[in-house]
Amino acid sequence: MAGTTMPKPYLPRETLDHIIDLLRDERETLKRCCLVSKPWVPRTRKHLFAYIHFRSASNLESWKETFPDVANTPACHTRRLLVGCPWLVVAADAEEGGWIRAFSGVASLEITVASHDLHFTAAKVSLAPFHNFSPTLKSLRVDPTAFQYPQLFDLVLSFPLLENLSLACYYGIWFGDHDSDGPQSVVPSTSPVLSGNLNFHVTGGGGKAARRLLDLPNGLHFRRIALSWDLAGDVKWITELVALCSHSLEYLDITRTPRSTSIRILLTPIT
């Protein structure tokens, strides 16, 4: 009929959200969705910013320039965070007054330092700003490490829901003889559940770090463990660690290097 105005097409919010969710791995398409309609932006941001990495100074500066207002960033959508330049993130946190806490929904954190940046040691970088920055954190990976192990275990203790832990040490970088080296902080006397996966890889001896792990207040309840080491003297702590988790352990992968002798055991829980 002449003069009749056709109604605008309409999709229920739930249907639109489902369509956008199906595009979660199509970053370019998601970026275009942000330009279609303002109501589409929140859902697309949920996927666009689910994984954020700060591998270098340029990554960090780009983020800060794009989102200068700390209180108004898409950091709340981030579920996986990789920090490859922790000294710069710590500096940004100090400048902005708690910048890292904008990433309060992160479930998985990885802190990694490139070999050419290992001169940024624990004496220069404090992990304290990362303490409990995300109360929902369940997975923590530090590999390779430029921090003294007391700092790292302070970090572990600060996440009450932490389940999965991945640690690595190469050629004694991590395990200095002086526990007091580096910044210290007050941490809670409790301990996370640690009921998921443990990946513990050591080159050059890991007895001190293992002792810290074994002495955590609430014990260890890992279901899956992967261990690798190269010194015969480490057998003692490996045996103790496995025994401590015997009530919960379902899978065990042990590798001795440099011989590369590997044992993988599928354990059936006792009922």
- Within 8 A by CB and 6+ apart from 69, the residues are none
DSSP secondary structure, 146-206, as one string: -S-HHHHHHHHHT-TT--EEEEEEETTSS--S-TT-S------S------SEEEEEEES--
pLDDT at 44: 84
Highest mean pLDDT among 41-45, 75-79, 126-130: 75-79
Over range 144-155, report the average pLDDT: 77
User: What proportion of the chain, given as a percentage, has pLDDT over 70?
Assistant: 78
Residue 252 contacts residue 267 (beta carbons within 8 Å): yes
Q: Give the residue, 131 or 41, on which the prediction is more confident.
A: 131
Residue 218 contacts residue 188 (beta carbons within 8 Å): no
Structure tokens of 232? 């015969």
pLDDT digits (tens, 9 = 90+) for 162-210: 999 998 876 555 444 444 444 445 455 567 889 999 999 887 777 778 8
pLDDT digits (tens, 9 = 90+) for 18-53: 777 787 788 888 878 878 878 888 888 888 899 999
- State yes or no: pLDDT of 237 exceeds 90: no
pLDDT at 259: 57
Q: Find where tokens 């057998």 sit.
A: 235
Residue 229 contacts residue 238 (beta carbons within 8 Å): yes
pLDDT at 231: 81
Highest mean pLDDT among 42-46, 83-87, 228-232: 83-87
pLDDT at 99: 92
